[in-house]
Amino acid sequence: MVRSLFSAVIALFLVVVPAHSEQPVAKLPDLSGPVILTVTGLDPVAYPGGKALFDLAMLQAMGQVRVSTGSIWTDGTHDYTGVALSALVKYLNIGAGTLTLHALNDYKADIPTAELEDNAPILAYDADGAPMPVRDKGPIWVLYPFDGDIKYRTDTVFSRSVWQLDRIDVLR
Amino acid sequence: MPTIASPSAPPADRLRFALVFLVVLASAIGIVVETLDVTRQIDAQSSSNSDNLQWALSQTDVELLNLEIAMDDARHDIAKLGKLRVRYDVFFSRVKTLELGSVFTILRGNAKMSACFDHLKQFLAATQPLFDGPDPALWDALPDLQTQARAVMPEAHEIALTGVSIFAQRADLRRADVKNTLIQLAVLTLVLVLAFVALLVMVLRLDRGNRLKAALNAETLARLDAVMATSLDSVITLDVVGRIVDFNPSASSTFGYPKEQAMGCYLSLMVPPDAQGKAQLPALNAPVTKGHRRHRITARRRDGVDFPAEISLSSAQAGARSVHVVFLRDLSQQVAAEQALVTARDEALAGEKAKADLLVVMSHEIRTPLNGMIGTIDLLDGTELAPHQREYLRIMAASGRLLMHHVNDVLDIARLDSGKAKLNLAPLDLSHLVGEVIENQTPASQVNGNTLTYIPPTDGRTRVIGDAAQLRQVLMNLVGNAVKFTKDGTITLQVLHRSNRGPTEILVRDTGIGIVREDLGRIFEDFVTLDPSYARHASGTGLGLGIVRRIVTRMGGKIRVESKAGEGSTFRVSLPLAILDSGDQPVVPETPQALTGKLSVLVVEDNDFNRLIVRDMLLKEGHTVTEATDGEEGIAQANAQAFDAILMDISMPGIDGLQAANRIRTGNGASCNAPIVALTAHALQAETDRFRAGGMQEVLIKPITRDTLRAVLTGVRPVSASPPVVELLDRRVLADLRTSLGAAKAHILVLRFLGDTERRVADLLAHIDDPVYEADLMADVHRMGGSAAMFGAVALRTELSAIEALCKQGNKPAARAAIPALAALWQRTAEAFRDEGYQEDEPLPQASNLR
């Protein structure tokens, strides 16, 4: 509890600080759990090896977005919680570029950062109050609010709705 | 101005437009609906169904294969167990997605697919405890797991393949749907395009029609402008409130206003109100009527001169406004010409009338001295004369009579032309009439060695209703002519009926000198004497046939002549006379009764000469005579002494004969009941009627001969004490009626006449104070007079004639005042009829035969 609060404070600090200064090296918080997301292709000056690793707590600390929607791959409506992909992009100070989303099942899809919206898609890591297992599209599902708008029910959107996400490669 | 109606398409065009418009609308709606449908379908394709489902399905196959490879890898390297677990989870997730994903629902309905799924799920269910368990147990089980995985690999493959075929079918169906929709869209688009083309064609046609109409209108306008510009009449167009909006050149020249100045003015500037301040034209806002309203008005020129004009107003509808068109014609010249014509005609008429009047006056004036001459000759004839003197006297008398005859002819013409001559209709016997004429003409005829014969009608019906005196005059003239122009020949008179109901023809045929063809047409004209050679045969004024023609025309008949020079002439008089069924009863001719007894006679005459003649004639007849030289003296004598008869001259200075007779009648003198005979040269019928109405019994028209004097004195009887006018009924007329109709029929007719007259008299009395009735009064008394004459009610008839005469003179009050006396007379007349046996309850001998 104390740790999570601490992490939240750190995260807040981090969110603010990199946005304000073009500091060459960004300091990511220490991992406190298993890595569920790896981001590669980052500025090697800011991130050693151009790589950033995230555990669940770090993602949770980045700001939580709730989406309640059904999908063509699921049965009925569920409540999902995650972080907005745009928030992550901002967090990592990624400018214009394309993100390649990699899944555990070797699927991949590209999203230009310009096409990210504030709250869509999200990197959902929690479904109906429980972490998402790999056996059910976990650990992270790139999720659009499909029921919210017809624009989220296009081929492109569906192809970008990558489940079992474990890596994002940034192409700048 | 012409009315140009706003162009409007005829109903058929409008209907066509509406139809095309409906098609366009329907097509447009259809296209919108179809487009929405296509959009929906495209959306549908672009959403749920379009995910790379085949990828997802084939991934089942791939991921199972990856799992099997991972198992194989892990069997050789236990460190790769983690990786194997991920592969297992991935495959697990795949199967779960296929199992739950809504997009795969359709696959799950497929039996084969279901079976495959079940196998995969069984595999997962069987292997899950091992993957959830510890590594060593998993590692140990790997060979067995690999076998199991390989066993279900065909199932995963089958899922992929089946999915491909199902989704392909669905895609085909959807494409077909889209195709259909697109075809419908294309058809609708085509229809829309066609409809637009049709619209375009119609608009073009309408446009062409409108252009044509516009051209036509322009032409009409140009023509109208030309008509207006050249019209001789003024043409002024007014707007709804009467302001001038158009003014043609003729109007400008007529009124003296230039067009620019006239425009916008009110018409009342040129057609001002009349002297009484009344508008000469009807209000323009009066209900608009079709056609023209014509008015004679006085228009005013710019210089203030008024002139007569005829105006015709018509209203026209120009769109929603109405305009008024005024056609105005300057009538100054026409009116002047009319006036000149009227003046000329009046002058001519006045001249004619003056001439006619002169003729009449002259004739009258000639008659009086002539009267004296003839009378004196008559007297002279009664004295001792030497034979040669008597011969001279005979010549004088003949000349005098001839002269009198001419004068009478002239007066007859004047009388007939004046329209005052009336027909005195009564039953008469044509045979009797012809007999009289033959008797009269026999002496003259014998002189020329002629024979006079008469052929009566074959059916023996000679009784007719007509004016005996006039008819006699006609025959006298015709037979007189025939006698004059025939020598040693035959003159035949024939009466025949063209049919049972007439007309009746009287033929006068002679074997005389005849008339040449060229003259036949003009012998009935006035003052015509033919070839001078005739003068050797006879002399005449040439008025005889003119009089005949007038009388015949007056009777509603015709006269024709057929003649051949040297062989003779036939005059054929055709008359519409009512023919009475006479039977075989001959009519007893009127035989003048021999004068009985000597009378004491009062002669009132201012002319000494005439008085002397009359006195001597009377004395010769053996009467005693008392003379009076004027009305005053006459009245005094009559009051003083009871005379058997009074001869009264009409035109006397001071109290005239009519007034004197009236005074004698109304007074209580000794002679108040004595018959009074008027002496007059006035031969007009209306006059004699007036005398009779004035209380005189007989009228003696000058010149007076002993014969006429004797006849009159024989006829008159003293007026019975009271009532004064005695003779209510002429029983001879009634006898004639009975003879010709039969007693029974006559009885019924008389009763009908009595009832009818009773009703009419009551009517007259009822309306005595009604001024409106006056107009009918004359016609009424005239009708009643006719009936009274037919049935012999002589006194009544006389009274009615008097009233009618008063009406004619315009003396309506006097006429009305006479009505009570008439009613009293009627009561006595009706009483007299009843005394004769004409009563309703009188048994009728032959009543049964009447029905």
Residue with tokens 């309703």: B840
Q: Please judge whether A134 and B59 are an interchain contact, meaning their C-beta atoms are less than 8 angstroms apart.
A: no
Instruction: Calculate how close chain A gets to B105, using CA atoms only, in Å.
Output: 10
What is the rounded distance in angstroms from the CA atom of residue A113 to the CA atom of residue A94? 8
Q: Which residue of B has its CA nearest to A156?
A: B51
Give DSSP secondary structure letters for B121-190.
HHHHHHHHHHHHS-HHHHHHHHHHHHHHHHHHHHHHHHHHHHHHHHHHHHHHHHHHHHHHHHHHHHHHHH
CB proximity B307 to A under 8 Å: no
Let me know: does A46 contact A93? Beta carbons within 8 Å: yes
Which DSSP helix (H) or strand (E) runs through B232?
none
Q: Please judge whether A164 and B92 are an interchain contact, meaning their C-beta atoms are less than 8 angstroms apart.
A: no
What is the rounded distance in angstroms from the CA atom of residue B428 to the CA atom of residue B577? 11
Residue with tokens 């018409």: B267
Q: Which pLDDT belongs to residue B413?
A: 79
Q: Which pLDDT belongs to residue B674?
A: 82
Give B96's contacts in chain A (Cβ within 8 Å): 135-136
Q: Of A72, A107, A136, which is closest to B102 when you measure between CB atoms?
A: A72
Give B93's contacts in chain A (Cβ within 8 Å): 105, 134-138, 163-164
Give B52's contacts in chain A (Cβ within 8 Å): 155, 158-159
Q: Please judge whether A72 and B101 are an interchain contact, meaning their C-beta atoms are less than 8 angstroms apart.
A: yes
Q: With 0-12 CB in 10 A as exposed, 13-18 as middle and 19+ as buried, what is B299?
A: buried
How big is the A-B interface in CB pairs under 8 Å?
66
Let me know: does B310 contact B294? Beta carbons within 8 Å: yes
Q: Residue A39 in 3-state DSSP?
A: strand
Ranges under pLDDT 50 in chain B: 1-7, 47-50, 288, 532-538, 583-595, 719-725, 842-851
Whether ipTM tops 0.90, in short, is: no
> 4-63 in A: which are within 8 Å (CB) of B?
none
Give A135's contacts in chain B (Cβ within 8 Å): 89, 92-93, 96
Rounded to two decimals, what is the model's pTM? 0.37
What is the rounded distance in angstroms from the CA atom of residue A149 to the CA atom of residue A152? 6
Give CA angle at A36 (A32, A40), nearest 5°: 105
Exposed e or buried b per residue across B549-577, where buried means at least 16 C-beta atoms within 10 angstroms of its C-beta: bbbbeebebebebebeeeebbbbbbbbeb
What length is written for chain B? 851
Give A102's contacts in chain B (Cβ within 8 Å): none
In tens digits, chain A (172 residues) has pLDDT values of: 445 555 554 444 444 444 444 445 567 788 888 888 999 988 888 888 888 889 888 888 888 899 999 888 888 899 999 999 998 888 888 888 899 999 988 888 999 988 888 888 899 999 998 998 888 888 899 999 988 888 888 878 888 889 899 899 998 7
Q: Of B63, B94, B101, which is closest to A74 when you measure between CB atoms?
A: B101
**Strand ranges, E, within B293-418:** 293-300, 306-318, 321-330
Q: Residue B538 in 3-state DSSP?
A: coil
What is the rounded distance in angstroms from the CA atom of residue B503 to the CA atom of residue B524? 21
Q: Which pLDDT belongs to residue A142?
A: 92
**Per residue in A70-80, pLDDT tens?**
888 888 899 99
Q: Residue A12 in 3-state DSSP?
A: helix
Q: With 0-12 CB in 10 A as exposed, 13-18 as middle and 19+ as buried, what is B204?
A: exposed
**Per residue in B258-288, pLDDT tens?**
888 888 888 888 888 877 777 777 666 655 4
> 34-63 in B: which are within 8 Å (CB) of A?
43, 46-48, 50-52, 59, 63
Q: Please judge whether B93 and A134 are an interchain contact, meaning their C-beta atoms are less than 8 angstroms apart.
A: yes
Give B101's contacts in chain A (Cβ within 8 Å): 71-75
Q: Which pLDDT belongs to residue B686?
A: 61
Closest Cα partner for B622 from B655, B596, B583, B659? B596
Closest Cα partner for B538 from B637, B431, B668, B405? B405
Interface probe with A: pick from B40, B43, B48, B51, most Cβ of A within 10 Å: B51
CB proximity B246 to A under 8 Å: no
- Could you give the C-alpha distances from B287 to B271, B314, B315, in angstroms and in order? 21, 11, 10
Q: Which residue of A has its CA nearest to B83?
A: A104
Let me know: does B312 contact B327? Beta carbons within 8 Å: yes
Q: Please judge whether A134 and B46 are an interchain contact, meaning their C-beta atoms are less than 8 angstroms apart.
A: no
Give CA angle at B597 (B595, B598), nearest 5°: 105
Closest Cα partner for B528 from B545, B548, B542, B546? B542
What is the rounded distance in angstroms from the CA atom of residue B128 to the CA atom of residue A143? 27
